[in-house]
Amino acid sequence: MYIPRYLQDFITRISRSFPVILLTGPRQVGKTTLLQYLASAEHPPRSYVSLDEYGPQLLARSDPALFLQRHPPPVVIEEIQHAPNLLSHIKPRIDKSGKMGQYWLTGSQQFQLMTDVSESLAGRVGIIKMLGFSLAEERGLPRRSEAFRPDRITTDIRGQEIIPLFERIVRGSLPRFAQADPPPIEAYYGSYMATYVERDVRLLKEIANLDTFRRFVTVAAARVGQLLNYSDLARDVGIAVSTAREWLHTLEATLQIILLRPYFANLNKRQIKTPKLYFSDTGLVCYLTGWHTAKSAASGAMAGQLLECWAVSELYKSYWHRGREAPLWYYRDKEKREVDVLIAEEGRVFPLEIKLAGNPSKRDAAAMEYLERNGVPCGPGVVLCPIGNPYPITEKVSAYPVSEVW
């Protein structure tokens, strides 16, 4: 059964403004399903071809002109990163035609693909990012008009108990688990990792020892919500620091991880400049780190990290699934004052703390108040936590159900 995605209307709208759209995101988040659903509603239906398949990929690489003749627009071309040479052949065709929405492309990695797209299709392509289901999408809730922000909080609160919330965290947000016959979690993510390593990783980077790379991903998963330390990662895996940097770059390029960058507002010179590490899907984190049940995950040593990783991922979905860049940052200084997330928009920052606590207090708002006392223009702030109903903590900070971030 198809579950509507919040990006549907945006894709339809942007396709009227660009001859090419590119939908990027990790594997298995539903990119193809979404585009095929939208394509089937067109008259006549848009055709489809996948470059994950050997035959089309070989033809696209060896004879891109013939490939495009065999698959004329309007068309969906899946996993374009397997044949980036197609992009330069698409350009003269769309320039000659002048029609909008001719090519819908998908891709499972960002950086090199973005470079190829910007060089070949500058000004001709609308780029959209997509992750797995948000909790609200999976619930089938109507899309709110704006992305999440503390000053936009609504009154239709549906707070969720901690164990059901951790059930969602453990199984992750990939659409396969929202179907009526979900697969065993461990078997699915084991296959997912094997496919990811064999296809996407090898496409980006020649890695001699894939078992060492898998161990590296596991070690990185154990550090979600923490400051990124390349030296520690390299030491624990037994690789060079330069290798750790390259492999983190690969994980970011394939949207498996999200690096949340620090916010600078010229407060002082004692701010931390290191990004924080998150995975885009908590199901993969739980699989890699051995948290297989909601009960064990909610009471285990990584419970706070898992909740924070899930909330940060939901925040990115709130923006990306509306076709927007996510203006998300964090703050930390050498006195260990920290705000987990800052939403920086319209000349203000909106501070968010993420806590595994049922009764957050003024102490949890202290770092937010520090920012405002030191000249940062702050809007309302929230402490996101597993509670049922919101309540005020200070004049400008409220506790709010973390499950309502959408």
Q: What does the pLDDT look like over 334-361, one tens digit per residue?
A: 888 899 999 999 999 999 999 998 888 8
- Between CA 273 and CA 229 the distance in angstroms is 11
Mean pLDDT of 299-324: 97
CA-based nearest residue to 160, from 134, 135, 133:
135
Only one residue has tokens 């979900």, namely 182
- Between CA 163 and CA 140 the distance in angstroms is 20
Task: Assess whether pLDDT exceeds 70 at residue 266.
Answer: no
Given this model, what pLDDT does residue 41 score? Answer: 87
Task: Assess whether pLDDT exceeds 60 at residue 145.
Answer: yes
SS3 category, 49: strand
Mean pLDDT of 376-382: 94
Only one residue has tokens 């910007």, namely 118
Given this model, what pLDDT does residue 269 score? Answer: 57
Cβ-contact 401, 160 below 8 angstroms: yes
Identify which has the larger pLDDT, 370 or 160.
370
Identify which has the larger pLDDT, 203 or 165.
165
Mean pLDDT of 52-72: 95
Mean pLDDT of 12-27: 94
- Between CA 246 and CA 252 the distance in angstroms is 10
- Between CA 1 and CA 30 the distance in angstroms is 13
Lookup: tokens for 401 = 């159900």
Given this model, what pLDDT does residue 109 score? Answer: 67
- Between CA 197 and CA 201 the distance in angstroms is 5
Lookup: tokens for 245 = 């940097």
Given this model, what pLDDT does residue 265 score? Answer: 66
Lookup: tokens for 133 = 């289901």
Residue by residue, DSSP assigns 207-242 as: -S-HHHHHHHHHHHHTTTTSB--HHHHHHHHT--HH
Q: Please list the residues that pair with 183 across neighbouring strands.
A: none
Which domains, ranges and CATH numbers included, belong to the chain?
8-129 (3.40.50.300), 135-404 (no CATH)
Element (H, E) at 285: helix 282-289
> Measured at the alpha carbon of residue 159, what is the angle toward residues 158 and 162, in degrees to the nearest 5?
145
Per residue in 224-251, pLDDT tens? 999 999 999 999 999 999 999 999 988 9
* R_g (Cα) of the chain, nearest Å: 22
Given this model, what pLDDT does residue 202 score? Answer: 73
Only one residue has tokens 């319209």, namely 346
Lookup: tokens for 354 = 């993420």
Q: Which of 22-31, 260-269, 364-373, 384-393 has the lowest mean pLDDT?
A: 260-269
Only one residue has tokens 């929405």, namely 101
Task: Assess whether pLDDT exceeds 70 at residue 158.
Answer: no
Cβ-contact 297, 166 below 8 angstroms: yes
Mean pLDDT of 309-320: 98
- The secondary structure of residue 45, as a DSSP letter, is P
Given this model, what pLDDT does residue 197 score? Answer: 78
Given this model, what pLDDT does residue 190 score? Answer: 94
Tell me what percent of the residues of the chain surpass a pLDDT of 90: 69
- Give CA separation, 34 vs 82, 144, 203, in Å: 20, 19, 24
Question: What is the CB neighbour count within 10 angstroms for residue 221?
Answer: 24
Cβ-contact 316, 282 below 8 angstroms: no
Mean pLDDT of 380-405: 92
Only one residue has tokens 């806590």, namely 355
Given this model, what pLDDT does residue 122 score? Answer: 79
Question: Would you place residue 10 in the very low, low, confident or very high pLDDT band (cuts 50, 70, 90)?
Answer: very high
Per residue in 171-187, pLDDT tens? 999 999 998 889 999 99
Mean pLDDT of 127-141: 93
Q: Give me the chain's average pLDDT, please.
A: 91
Element (H, E) at 150: none
Q: Which of 151-155, 273-277, 279-283, 393-397 has the lowest mean pLDDT?
A: 151-155
- Residues in CB range of 53: below 8 A, 6 or more apart: none
Question: Would you place residue 333 in the very low, low, confident or very high pLDDT band (cuts 50, 70, 90)?
Answer: confident
